[in-house]
Amino acid sequence: MGYYDDGQYRSTKKRSPGSNSFLRWVTVVVVSALIGSAFTIVAAPIMLQNNLVQLPVLTNPNLSNTSYRALQPVTVQINNAVVQAVKKVRPSVVGVINFQMLPNNGANGYTLQEEGVGSGVIFSHHGYIVTNYHVVQGASKVEVVIHKKYHVYASVIGYDPYTDLAVLKIPSSYVTAQDVAQFGNSSTLQAGEPAIAIGNPAGLDFADTVTSGVISATQRTMPVIDEATGSVIGQQTELQTDAAINPGNSGGPLCNIMGQVIGINNSKIVAQGFEGMGFAIPINEVRTIVDQILATGHAIHPALGIEGESLSAVPAEYQPNVPVNYGVWVVKVVSADARLGGLEHGDVIVAVNGQKISGITSLRSVLWKSYQPGQYVNLTVYRDQQKLTLHLKLGELPPPQTTPSVHSSPPSGSGSGSGGSNGFTFP
């Protein structure tokens, strides 16, 4: 957007009838100021010289016959709400180090090397930690740094690439009651509320860095990007904040003024000309996904039981003969429920229960936001020129096939600020 010059546009309106009065008032003020200045310059020294006025003199009782103006140090106690919120949350914030088997520099073979550093939040006295999936993606080993000094091996309990969340676990003996974060309620947030981010930007040398701002918006639809491929694998609703989110902040908390975690920081816009546009996964969604991971080892998402592709991405030679240019083209029907519901190869899905479907990410977003496996939905589809309504049962999306090397994941580039596509980076 660039910038604007405040003096670029000037009013051309004529003065109002009161303008002359205003000018007279300004003239009086200016003349009075000049008279006062002249008195100070000319009359004041004369009065001081003739002892007509005296300035107060402060005398140091410890130094005889010595006068001076005493300068005393002033102690100010800063103990406002932001400080208290940080003190409450900071013990729960940890560093998360991603180790991967990487080629040796100038030598044969591979060794375990640090690939990136992110952040995490302890949310249970049993030692459970929530972080971003991209922070632990592809790791051969995950290490958690507590209180900036204790390096502890962490196991990966489960993860969900589609919401960019993962759950780690460390021995409970390392966790005290003060180390456990309190989750807030992201559904009650309003734009303009204070927001505080804590994390490890640029690695552990800047551990527990605090930035603050406001909640800029509460419902921004953002792409979920697979860091390994740079491809968009879904969309989700996130919080927007102008609190600085930098590489290494991923997985760390976004807090409210009460010291409650209201989001998990995961991305920012880094396109040229943009500033102060960071994003966090709302804590209510985090809570849901974390509960599912703890129960099953993975998140639970509904699915139609098809392999599909956005119609707009289908090559021209394979474009179906339908009267729309949007929707999901069914490449293959893979579940019995989908076949039973009447879906066929070549169908184009354009709506779920009347809600428009523009493409594959739109379909995932609509299903995951509003439905559960086992529910029935009405699909609006085009089969050639014919418009149909199909009634079918939703299945469950299979767990992700990408698994960490030793059931411990890393932050692929999280410490180095490697980015995804479309102007987004995952710190």
Question: Residue 110 has what pLDDT?
Answer: 87
Catalytic annotation on 164? yes
- Give me the mean pLDDT over the 73-97 stretch: 86
Look at residue 369 in the predicted model and tell me its pLDDT: 82
* Alpha-carbon span 413 to 416, nearest angstrom: 5
**Active-site pick, 134, 216, 267, 335:** 134
Residues 182 and 268 in one domain: yes
Count of the separate structural domains present in the chain: 2
Tell the burial category of 371 from Cβ atoms under 10 Å away from its Cβ (0-12, 13-18, 19+): middle
Residue 53: is its pLDDT beyond 90? no
Q: Do 116 and 222 belong together in one domain?
A: yes
Mean pLDDT of 169-178: 94
Would residue 189 count as lying in a domain? yes
Q: Are residues 107 and 225 in the same domain?
A: yes
One domain, residues 354 and 421: no
Q: What is the pLDDT of residue 365?
A: 81
- Where do the DSSP E strands lie in 284-374? 302-303, 306-310, 328-333, 348-352, 355-356
**Choice among 212, 250, 267, 408 that is catalytic:** 250
Please report whether residue 191 resides in a domain.
yes
Same domain as 201, residue 86: yes
373 within 8 A of 121, measured Cβ to Cβ: no
Q: Which two tokens stand for residue 241?
A: 């904040």
Residue 187 lies in a domain: yes
pLDDT band at 422 (very low <50, low <70, confident <90, very high): very low
Q: How much is the pTM?
A: 0.71
Q: Is residue 184 part of a domain?
A: yes
**Domain contains 45:** no
> In this structure, are 141 and 251 located in the same domain?
yes
Is residue 134 part of the annotated active site? The answer reads yes
Percent of the chain at pLDDT above 90?
Answer: 55
Domain that holds residue 363: 302-396
Question: Quick one: 278 and 386 in the same domain?
Answer: no
Q: Where residue 164 sits, what CATH number does that domain have?
A: 2.40.10.120
The pLDDT tens digits of the residues spanning 89-140 come to 999 999 999 999 888 876 778 888 889 999 999 999 999 999 999 999 999 9
The larger pLDDT score, comparing residue 409 to residue 81, is at 81
* 277 plus 210 within the same structural domain: yes
Catalytic position from the list 160, 164, 179, 226: 164
- On whether both 156 and 228 belong to a single domain, the answer is yes
91 domain-assigned: yes
The CATH number of residue 352's host domain is 2.30.42.10
- Say which range, 21-30, 148-157, 187-196, 263-272, has the weakest mean pLDDT: 21-30
Let me know whether 184 and 316 are in one domain. no
SS3 category, 223 = strand
